[in-house]
Amino acid sequence: MTDYRFIRYDVSEYIARITLDRERYRNVQSTELLHELDHAIRRAGADIAVRVIVLFAVGDHFSAGHDLGTPEEMAWREQNPMQEGTRGFYDRTWSLYVDMHLAWRNVGKPMLAAVQGYCIFGGWMVASTADIIFAADDAMFLGSLFQYFAIPYDIHPRRAKELLFQGRFINGAQACELGLVNRAVARAGLEGETMAYARDVAQNDPFEMRMIKLAVNQAQDQQGFTAFIHAAHSMYMLNRTGEKDPDYAVKVPEGRRRPMVQVALERYRQEQARVKV
């Protein structure tokens, strides 16, 4: 696979730029996009001409999350049916979000993510696999108990609980304060500052950078990171099943939007309305 439909890939100055390219749908992550992203990250990881990987996204938003039903996604699912029921859903989510995301986290080169606009659920997951995250001031992160649940390692557990219990958006500056991102920058300067940092890192010895990354990742693994990701996926599965209970407390919106995304959007609109008063 060298021709991609939903991402862009180019290499220069020892840097592989991988760009999500579904602007029409706010870069929601179709199954094909995730497979292409997986191929591109592994390709960059194996390329001796690449020392740093940078994730970008076209348009106003990094990613509005998972693709819940665009025509392209539905056509792919029709052509690639999965096993019905819990077994099929478990296999799909484990393959796409546990195996793939752990592989991205462990790619043997520094990986950066530049985040603007929506970074919801699946967007957060992809960004969190990066070693370094730069966020624009217009970034809007929304987390949950999702399939690759690295949040308790990215944010102090008490702050993570505070955020997730409410189910609310945080902007780039708040994400930086919480430790999720490394730098919050003006939207106009996001690409320039990210690339300047990438070029600086690319001047270093790639094997040394690989060993540094491995050592830091292993420090987290000694604390149980990978085992926790595996266990949290089961909690995600149980939580997703609980959303279908008749006494589920949150109103389920019409269409395909997840209930807690709707709650977060409504809360954000209310906050914005208060600010304007």
pLDDT one digit per residue (tens) for the chain, 277 residues: 578 999 999 999 999 999 999 999 999 999 999 999 999 999 999 999 999 999 999 999 999 999 999 999 999 999 999 899 999 999 999 999 999 999 999 999 999 999 999 999 999 999 999 999 999 999 999 999 999 999 999 999 999 999 999 999 999 999 999 999 999 999 999 999 999 999 999 999 999 999 999 999 999 999 999 999 999 999 999 998 988 888 888 877 776 667 777 777 777 777 777 766 5
Domain ranges of the chain: 7-276
Calpha distance 119→221 (Å, rounded)? 26
Quick check: pTM over 0.85? yes
- CA-closest candidate to residue 5, choices 20, 16, 15, 17: 20
Are the C-beta atoms of residues 8 and 15 closer than 8 Å to each other?
no
Q: Which CATH architecture has domain 7-276?
A: Alpha-Beta Complex (3.90)
DSSP 63: B
| Cα-Cα-Cα-Cα dihedral sign, residues 126, 19, 38, 114 | negative
